[in-house]
Amino acid sequence: MGSIFRRQATAATPALDQYDIAHLAGGARRVAETALIGLRGRSVITLLGPRVRAVESTDWPAGEGAHHPVERALVALCPWSRSVASVLADVARGAETAEIERRLVAHGLRTRHRNRLTHAGRESLETAAREGTFPAYVFEGPAAVPDRRLSHVVRDAEIPSGLGRALIRLGKALDSDNDSDHDSDTHGSGHSCGGGGGGGD
């Protein structure tokens, strides 16, 4: 159904959803991967090779959509085709993912400095794994995705650290060029690529 699962809170531990658990398991990058994989599985986004694009909301399956702030942020990043690597990078360092980290630190599940798991954070992660409520990729990343093509696309978006910033900047420049070309092609048509029909003058 695409719902965001939530573990019940106790007196000592706050309720944690799958994005909280993804952050505990693999940090900001895992949060971004979890969103992309989940949205792809619910047909809210499409992948063509190493590029991702949001599906028009009118074409989403009944009852599906971008339910979580991280998911909405990802969808908003790709109304046109963009590289998976750049979308994952933007989601990982976005405000929505930063808010997850802030909340985990506030609840004592990650340390304020160096952002490491605390004892309580490890316990929460282990409990979530035992309960089996969340998909395996929340804990293990794209290697746990049954769809091998999707798994490879997400894993291949891992860029070696020495080249990462330069290649992401290059990918964004290409994305920007594509967006500019699209705007030029559609200027005056009365329609925008990411939404429905636009108004006239």
Position 179 scores a pLDDT of: 54
Nearest to 37 by CA among 119, 131, 122, 143: 143
Distance CA 163, CA 190 (A): 40
User: What integer is the mean pLDDT of 189-197?
Assistant: 37
Q: What is the pTM of this model?
A: 0.75
pLDDT by residue (tens digit) across 112-123? 988 899 999 999
- β-pairing, 45-48 vs 51-54, is antiparallel
Position 21 scores a pLDDT of: 98
pLDDT by residue (tens digit) across 139-164? 999 999 999 999 999 999 875 454 44
* pLDDT above 50: residue 8: no
pLDDT by residue (tens digit) across 53-110? 999 999 899 888 999 999 999 999 999 999 999 999 999 999 999 999 999 999 999 9
Backbone angles phi, psi at 77, to 5 degrees: -75, -20
Q: What tokens appear for 146 in the block?
A: 């049954």
Nearest to 35 by CA among 82, 80, 79, 77: 77
* pLDDT above 90: residue 30: yes
For the sheet containing 51-54, what is the strand order? 45-48, 51-54, 82-83
Distance CA 162, CA 6 (A): 37
